[in-house]
Every structure is written in structure tokens, then in C-alpha cells.
Structure 1
């Protein structure tokens, strides 16, 4: 699933990554995701799943909209991402598993796969290594314990032709894959307000109207650019790169202890050699109805945190002590940014393309286990997360 660096629209967010859903034209779809047992999978859903993979406990966040499935889970020291490989009927899914580090080191890396089959209240299946030499069982159940939250998942899509009278006209496409809290209490209301704000919709405006307003502004700007190209007499060459896209996706990466972490991923193409993308991470303290600052998680000076970041960057990206960080990064140092997030095991910092490294290197993610931050953790945060 998945702006001239966000042309238009998402002025409040950093650019994001690769999710370009199929355009069906000014449609909006939602599907409920609750803790109740279901006999079949809905067309779209968000599911928080607990269980085991290869006998180890995991929490998987899985999201499906139309035919696109994506998700995340943490396993044995690695934060892993899931994307669609194949959909088999209504109740079976084959997912590809990848990590930031594997994609960085090996272009030809053979990704593992998860074959999942819905059993009415969860998934059973098999994890298989990319080289097919290892297989392990998967058993997952949909659960929403106290202080976790259920969501709808949906998508709004629209498009417009640059030249309405031409059959093969360039097209501008826009899509919003979004989440909506199913709870009607004060916490669900607050969550929905924050989710709309992330996209750029005012709290008092309903989603469909908000999406239409953003799309209209985007298409107006697109038409203006088309008119400028025609005015400049570039009828023969500009059409080749006027197929613009502007896509975004909200997804859950953590959902426990009264916290919800949202990855807002956006990607855009506005001409040129390639598009651009990036993720903005939102750590929402639902219990206290506020967005977390880094100082709500750790009390540590920047220099000390930078040293811990460097140590883990070297470990994650296999940079030897004798080698400069600039073998991977633009500079020979790395600093914490505001684009942080967390799970039950640690704190991560996300650096989008061009922020600390080249576009070809993709997103750089540095994960710090909480074990290395224990003396710096804010007591309230540590208590709620169960960190001792």
C-alpha cells in the first residue's frame, strides 16, 4: 500500500513512501475492524494480532485496503515490514517480509514469505525463508486488550486528465489510505481528530469533504502547470512526464498501553527522473490526549543520545569502528531528529531520503533497545510500557 516534495496539499508533513493504490475515481470505502469473531475477512480492515511465529511471541499490525495488504511486527531484534505478494481467495494472503537493513545491504536479497489463512478470529499459516530452507508455524489471534484501539481502514481516490479531449491524456491521481477509530467515546473522538489533522483535514470537517477539498486544490495546481507548459510551446515533450501521483497512507506500528503510533507515508511524482517519498511518525498518547515529544520518553542531552545513535547505526548498518559514518551517510555524524517512534522493545529514529543519505539508500532507521536507555526513560512512560 503506500507533492513536488509533496506538491500541494500535505504542507504539514514530510514526504513519504511507496504506496500507489489503483485509481477507481472519486470513491470512498470503509470497513469495520473490531475484536469480535468474524467468519470471513472484510474487503478492507485493520487488525491487531497476537500470537507466535516460530514459537516466539509477536504482535502484528495488519492493514488491508482493496487488494493491498501491509503491516509490521517486531521479531527477535528486528522490526519487520510486510507487503502483499499474492491474495488467494477471500481468506488467504501471501505476504513478503522485509526490513530496512536487508533492503539497504542486498538488492538481490530473497525475502521471506508469510502464508496466512483466516480461521474466523485470526490467522494460521507458515513463515518460509527466502531460500526455502526454513519453515516455521504461525498462529495469530485478533485481540484488542485494554488500552488498545480498533480502527476502520479505508481509501479515497480520484483523478483528472490534463487534456480531457485526448484519449491518451496525461493524468494526475490522488489517493488517501486512512484510519478511523471505531470507538465513540472521548478517546475515539480525540483519535479521529488527530488522524484527520495528520492528513490535513480540520476536526469539524468530515473526511469525504476534506479529501475532496484537498484533491480539488491539487488538481487546480496541476491544471495550472499543464496550462503553463502549453503556453511555453512544449506540447511535444511535457506530456511524457505529466502523469502526476500524490498518495498517502496512515498505518499503525504500535497500539498498546494507551499509545498509538501512526506512520504517515506519502509519495509523489511531479515530473523528473523519479518521485519522492517519506514517513512522518506520530506518537499519540491517547490516554492523556496529546502527541508525545521526545522529552516525554527520554530525558537525555543531545550529545549523549547522538553517541547512542551512532553506536546502533554502526551495528545496524555494519559500519566498522575504523570506518567513517560518511561511508553510509552524507556526514560523519548523526543527530536525533523529531521523527521518532517506538514499540515494546525500543525507540527508533526515521531519516527519510536525502535527509542524512542519498535517495538510493532509502529510509535510514536507527533502532535503540530500551535496555540502552533505561537510565534516561521518563518514569511515567517506563511504567506504562512495563519497562523495569
Structure 2
């Protein structure tokens, strides 16, 4: 994954509501006024999350596609504005990246499959998905072959509302030629009264909390806090960098910072919701830095499922062996080939950055954690058929019915 500098900004639009001051004396004989209907939660303009089902070319098994979109700035090269993830019956998810070099029309989407399992030897990428939204269908091609997917909400999945915030910050307020930084936030909120604890935990994790002992923030307030903190830090940094130039003019491009926090859906079917909290920051240099913190939630309770809730305490050595084997498969290495060389490490650590699907667990490693930046995030899937003896007995998935993983 490669990100570069932005060119234009998108202003955050907020709606302001005022109270009416009604001083008229009510008629005691009049019936009580009917309560005003509460507006249903709605997506931000240009932001949405949908699920689609259908067959991929040459496959007899249906897939479920988690698809998201959000606004993109004019001439934007920092955000693709679209992302996806799909899985078949075995529960192994595959990510789809938006094409940063393509300007998407509202109903036309281009995604690229960079999963190593789907990239031919020597090729830069796997199949390209070119899709068009038509009513409740996606039509187009995958790898040049026709495909048709239909919008669907699988049994037990949650409706999620997409809320998008964006603003720009001047490095030197009052200067007409001041460079600007961009800040963006894409949040997902579940709909329904029964999702209160889940909604609160999603907001806590968006804020960066690791415990449930603090009140959950309101989303609008969280955005305002994030914007205020970013504005302060950015202007302090800009002032320091300008002073370091000792009278020379600092090139404006050196301060075209960008920061993004985007919530991505990897799994959405009871009893699991698995979310990625993607963070990207650019503060000058050849490229920005990024990573995804992943969390699964038990949708019956709204509680997160961290590593300790998934695996038994003694699981680590066996997990390392399974991850080593999975890495060799993904890298197309011989079963006894050393990992150090293609990777930075001789053995895969059992990272606690892990999420669940109905078919297994996905371990996520950030760039530079075990491999070069050019190799991007590395994700390794282990099916429940391999993990069953290592799982906590109270886990809501991973039973015998979930063990039909890939052989």
C-alpha cells in the first residue's frame, strides 16, 4: 500500500439546530401534543457501508462482500475513498484496496486485490474489481470476467451507519499562502436499541481506550476533540520547523500533513462483528505511516474479544508454529525454508492484533513489524480446524460446526 500527498481539502459541514422559544400559554383543555418523531440515523453524504452476496467468476461458492465508501477530496492522492473485504463459506477474508489513481464516480468503484494468494508470480497485483452500483446490485467485472452481486444483509448481521468528518488546518493562520493539513475520521455506528453497549465500545476503541471503565464519548464531541488536538500539534510543529530553517523559507509541501482514522468492517454476522481501526499519518518525507488495529466483538453482549478472550494461556508456542507454516504458504516457500530473508524474523510472533471470522482467526502485522514497508500489512489466516485445541471454551465461535477450514 502506498500513499502520497493531498492536493485539495474538503470542508466539514455540520448542521446546527436551534430551539424555538414558544411563549404562548397552552390551553389546559387541549390534548397533549404528539411527540415529534425522532430522525432515523443516517449516513453522512457520500459515506456508506453495504453487504453484497453472489458468485465470483469460476466459483461455485457464494461470497459475502463488505463494501464501504466515503468522500474523497478533488485531486486526492491520500485516500482512495473505497475499501472492501470478502469471504466465502470457509470464512477466510480477503481485503480489497481502492485504486488511488482513479477518480470514482458516485456509483462506479475500482478495487484491487493485493492478497498474495491471488497475485501471480512476478505480477504487481491480483484481479481488479470494476463495479457499478445499480439499484441494489453491483455489476461489472472481476479480473476482466463479468460478475453480479446483490445487496443483502445476512441473517444476524448488523446495520451500520457511516459517519464521515473532515477538515483542513492552516499552519499559519492569517497567511494567504499558508500550507494546510488534512484531518479525516470515518466512524461506524450500529443501529438499534439492543446495540448500546456495542456502540459505546466502538466509540471507546475509536478514541483509543483499551478498557471499559470510562464513559463512551459522543461521536461529534470526539471529532471536535480530535480536531482541536490535531490543530494544536500541527501548528506547534509548523512553527518549530519554520524556526529551524533559520530565516529560509520552508517549502509549503513540507507541511502538507495528513491524518486519517477510518473504521473498516471485516466481519459482520452474528455472533461476531470484526472491525479494523485504520490509522494513517503523513508528516513529510517519502511516505506516510499506517497500521490497522483490529478488534472482534461478541454481538450478543457488545463486549470486545481480545487475544486473552480468544486463546488459552498456553497457546503461544503452538500459535507460533502455525503462523510460521501459514507464512510459508503465503510466501510460496518450501515447508522447511527459512523465513528470515523474505521477512525480518525467523519465526512469526503470536501478535495480539487478531480478529475472528466464522471460520478462523486473522493475525495482522503492521508495516516494518516483521517485513519491509513495501510488503505492507501482512495478514495470516488460521482456520478453526487448526486452532480448536487452543481456543478458550467460552468463545462464541470455533465449535465443531465452525471447523470446516481450508485444507
TM-score greater than 0.5 by the shorter chain = yes
- The answer as to whether partners of 2:265 and 2:275 remain within 8 angstroms in 1 is yes
CA distance in 1, matches of 2:383, 2:338: 23
Q: How does 1:1-388 map to 2 (within 5 A)?
A: 23-27=9-13, 32=42, 43-54=46-57, 55-66=60-71, 68-75=81-88, 79-84=93-98, 91-99=107-115, 106=122, 108-109=124-125, 111-119=127-135, 122-129=136-143, 132=144, 135-146=145-156, 148-183=157-192, 185-186=193-194, 188-200=195-207, 203-232=215-244, 233=246, 235-237=248-250, 239-299=252-312, 300-379=314-393, 380-382=395-397, 386-388=401-403
CA RMSD after TM alignment: 3.3
CA distance in 2, matches of 1:99, 1:26: 34
Q: 1:151: how far off?
A: 0.8
Change (3 A) 1:181 1:18: farther
- The answer as to whether partners of 1:19 and 1:247 remain within 8 angstroms in 2 is no
CA distance in 2, matches of 1:42, 1:140: 22
How far does the alpha carbon of each residue in 1:244-284 deviate from its partner, in whole angstroms, 9 at most, with x for none? Answer: 11111001100112211001101001122321000000111
Q: 1:369: how far off?
A: 2.0
Alignment match, 1:6: none
Name the count of aligned residue pairs: 358
CA distance in 2, matches of 1:238, 1:88: 31
Q: 1:88: how far off?
A: 7.3
Question: TM-score if structure 2 supplies the norm length?
Answer: 0.77
Instruction: Give unpaired runs (5+ residues) of structure 2.
Output: 16-39, 73-80, 209-213
CA distance in 2, matches of 1:203, 1:246: 25
Change (3 A) 1:20 1:322: farther
- The answer as to whether partners of 2:159 and 2:190 remain within 8 angstroms in 1 is yes
- The answer as to whether partners of 1:32 and 1:151 remain within 8 angstroms in 2 is no
CA distance in 2, matches of 1:32, 1:247: 22
Change (3 A) 1:124 1:274: closer
Instruction: Give unpaired runs (5+ residues) of structure 1.
Output: 3-15, 34-40
CA distance in 1, matches of 2:387, 2:215: 36
Larger radius of gyration: 2
- The answer as to whether partners of 2:42 and 2:161 remain within 8 angstroms in 1 is yes
CA distance in 1, matches of 2:14, 2:112: 27
Instruction: Report the secondary structure of 1:319's partner residue.
Output: coil
Q: 1:204: how far off?
A: 4.9
CA distance in 1, matches of 2:307, 2:103: 39
Which structure features the higher share of strand residues?
1
Which structure is richer in relative contact order (CA contacts within 8 A, separation 6 or more)?
1
CA distance in 2, matches of 1:294, 1:344: 16
